[in-house]
Structure 1
Amino acid sequence: MVNTGLKKLFKGYIANIASAGLAGSVFVLGISSASAAALSGNIEGVLDASGSPYQVISNLTVASGKTLTIQPGVVLLINPGVGVTVNGALITAGTQAEPVIITSSQDGEAGGSGAGAGGQWGVLQFTNSSGAQLANTIVRFGQKVGLTNSSPQFNNVTVATMSVAAITADLTSFPSGAGNSSFGSPVNGIDLPSGGVSQNNTWGLVGIPYIIRSGDVSVGISGSRLTIAPGVIIKLLNSRLQNIGALTAVGTAEAPIVFTSYYDDTVGGDSNQDNGVTAPGRGNWRDVQLAGAGTSGSRLEH
Structure 2
Amino acid sequence: MTVKVIGQKGQDSKTWSITVTSAQPPKILNPKPVTSQTQPGEVNVNEGIILSIDTTDPQGLPLESTWTCTRGTIQNPQLNTAKWVAPGITGQAQVTVKVTNSAGKSATHTWYFDVKGNVVYVTEDITGTVTWATGNIYVIDEKDIEVRGTLIIQPGVVVKFGDGRSLRTTGSGRIQAVGKEDSPIVFTSLRDDDWGGDTDKDQGAVQPDPGIWGAVILETNSNRFEYCHFYYGGGSGAWYSPGMLQLDHSSGTQVKNCTFAFAEGVALQAKDATNVTIQGNAFYLNEKPLAIGAETSLDDSNIFHNPLNLDEKNTYQGIFVQAMPVEKPVSWTETEAAFVLEGYQWNVNGKLTLGPGVTVKLSEGAFLAVNNTATLEAKGEPGKPIVFTSINDSSYGGDSNGPAPDDPRPGDWEFIVIHNGGRGIFEHCVFAYGGSEEHMSEGWAALHDTNNSDGTTVKNTLFKNNRRGLTMLSTKSQIENCTFEENVYPLVVDLNIDTDNSLTIQDNRYNAIYLVVERSPQFAKQSVRWQNTGVPYVLLYDNLYTEGKTIVLGEGTILRVDRGLQINLEIGSKIENFNKAIFTSYRDTANGGDVGFGGGPNKGDWEGIWDESVLDYIGGPNILYAANPK
One-letter amino acid matched to 1:202? S
Q: Which residue number in structure 2 is paired with residue 119 of structure 1?
A: 211
- 1:90 Cα deviation after fit: 5.1
Quick check: 1:149 aligned with 2:241? no
Listed one character per residue, the Cα deviations across residues 260-285 of structure 1 (whole Å, up to 9, x for unaligned) are: 221222333222221x7332233222
State whether residues 318 and 338 of structure 2, in contact with CA within 8 Å, keep that contact through their aligned partners in structure 1.
yes
1:70 Cα deviation (Å)? 5.6
Q: Is the 8 A contact 2:283 2:314 kept in 1?
A: no
- Residue in 1 aligned with 2:159? 76
Q: 1:225, CA displacement in angstroms? A: 1.0
Deviations 1:22-71 (A, max 9, x none): xxxxxxxx724xxxxx48744877766523x543434456669x575663
Q: CA deviation at 1:4?
A: 2.9
Q: TM-score, normalised by structure 2?
A: 0.37
8 Å CA contact retained: 1:106, 1:115: yes
Using the alignment, how far apart are the partners of 1:271 and 1:282 within structure 2? 17
CA gap of 1:286–1:67, structure 2 versus 1, over 3 A, is: farther
Contact 2:334 2:358 in 1 (8 A): yes
Correspondence 1:243 to 2:243: no
Q: In the alignment, is residue 294 of structure 1 matched against residue 419 of structure 2?
A: no
2:422 match: secondary structure: helix
CA 130–283 in structure 1, closer or farther in 2 if over 3 Å, else same = same
Task: Please tell me the residue identity of whatever aligns with 2:162.
Answer: N
Question: For residue 188 of structure 2, what is the aligned residue in structure 1?
Answer: 103
Alignment of 1:1-302 (within 5 A): 1-2=43-44, 4-5=91-92, 18-21=115-118, 31-32=120-121, 38=122, 41-42=125-126, 50-51=135-136, 53-57=137-141, 58-60=143-145, 68=152, 71=155, 75-85=158-168, 88=174, 92-93=178-179, 95=181, 101-110=186-195, 111=197, 114-123=206-215, 124-126=245-247, 127-144=249-266, 145-147=268-270, 148-150=272-274, 151-162=276-287, 165-181=288-304, 183-185=313-315, 187-220=316-349, 224-238=350-364, 239-244=366-371, 245-253=374-382, 256-274=385-403, 277-295=405-423, 298-302=424-428
Report deviation, 1:181.
Answer: 1.0
Provide closer, same or farther for how the CA distance between residues 268 and 67 of structure 1 changes in structure 2, counting only shifts above 3 A.
farther
Partner of 1:10: none
Q: RMSD over aligned Cα, in angstroms? A: 3.7
In structure 1, the residue corresponding to 2:368 is in which secondary structure?
strand
Gap change, CA 1:118 and 1:292, over 3 Å in 2: same
Gap change, CA 1:198 and 1:55, over 3 Å in 2: same
Q: Which amino acid aligns with 2:279?
A: F
Query: What amino acid sits opposite 1:20 in the alignment?
Result: G
Deviation string, structure 1 residues 76-110 (Cα, Å, up to 9, x no partner):
33322223446756555453x66654333333444
The DSSP-based 3-state class of the residue aligned with 2:280 is strand
SS at match of 1:197: coil
Change (3 A) 1:267 1:68: farther
Give the structure with higher Rg (CA). Answer: 2
**Equivalent residue pairs, number:** 268
Q: Secondary structure at the match of 1:192?
A: strand
AA aligned to 2:139 is Q
Assess if the C-alpha contact under 8 Å between 1:206 and 1:233 holds in 2.
yes
Which is bigger in relative contact order (C-alpha 8 A, separation at least 6)?
1
Q: Contact 2:363/2:413 (CA < 8 Å) preserved in 1?
A: yes
The verdict on how the C-alpha distance between 1:196 and 1:136 changes in structure 2, with shifts beyond 3 A counting, is closer
Q: For residues 170-191 of structure 1, give each alpha carbon's deviation from its aligned partner in whole angstroms, at most 9, with x where no partner exists.
A: 3444454523216444x44333
1:54/1:188 CA distance change after superposition, 3 Å = farther
Residue 135 of structure 1 aligns with an amino acid whose one-letter code is N
SS at 2:135's partner residue?
helix
- Structure 1: how far apart are the matches of 2:123 and 2:337? 30
Return the letter of the residue paired with 1:264. Answer: D
In 2, the alpha carbon distance for the partners of 1:215 and 1:300 equals 23
Q: Secondary structure at the match of 1:50?
A: coil
Give the gaps of 5 or more residues in structure 2. Answer: 1-42, 45-89, 94-112, 199-203, 216-244, 306-312, 429-630
- How far does residue 128 in structure 1 lie from its aligned partner after superposition? 1.8
TM-score by length of 1: 0.70
- Alpha-carbon deviation of 1:215? 0.8
Shift of 1:131: 4.3
Code of the residue aligned with 1:179 in structure 2: it is N
Alpha-carbon distance in 2 for matches of 1:201, 1:109: 40
